[in-house]
Amino acid sequence: MHKMIDDLLQKVNKNINVQYILSSFEEKLNSTNNYFIAASLDNKIDSIIQLFNDWFENGKVFHDDYFSNLSLNMENPEIESELEKHESWKNKNQLRGTPTVLVNGYRLPESYKIEDLRFFTDLEL
């Protein structure tokens, strides 16, 4: 899914906004979310995009070890606060699976693929 989203962003010259909600349905995966949140708190947007690309391309098999050389401040108290916001949003919106694609707060209808969103970039929604 990430690769499809990245391809879509390239095709629409980043004229759409993509937001990842970092949450999981397994407690053991929360550490990965913490690492991504820590990286995003550094406000290095280009490096975050690259981090996601690298993670989904090669990093997932290494789990926590993948992040060990990134010098992230894992003691930042904002990490837990941000993770709680993501969890709360997931629960409020009753998300039960991943990946879930929402467009302006609504699930992408099954008759559409993520790639189809490029046709809607000029619409006023």
Confidence at residue 123, expressed as pLDDT on a 0 to 100 scale = 64
The predicted model scores a pTM of 0.75
Q: Where are the domains of the chain?
A: 2-119
Residues whose CB falls within 8 Å of the CB of residue 83, separated by 6 or more in sequence, listed in order: 22, 23, 30, 33, 34, 37
Give 30-64 pLDDT, tens digit per residue. 788 889 999 988 876 667 888 888 888 888 888 78
As a whole number, the mean pLDDT across the chain is: 83
Q: 97 vs 35, which has greater pLDDT?
A: 35
Token duo for residue 1: 């899914």
Give 76-89 pLDDT, tens digit per residue. 999 999 999 988 98
Confidence at residue 125, expressed as pLDDT on a 0 to 100 scale = 56
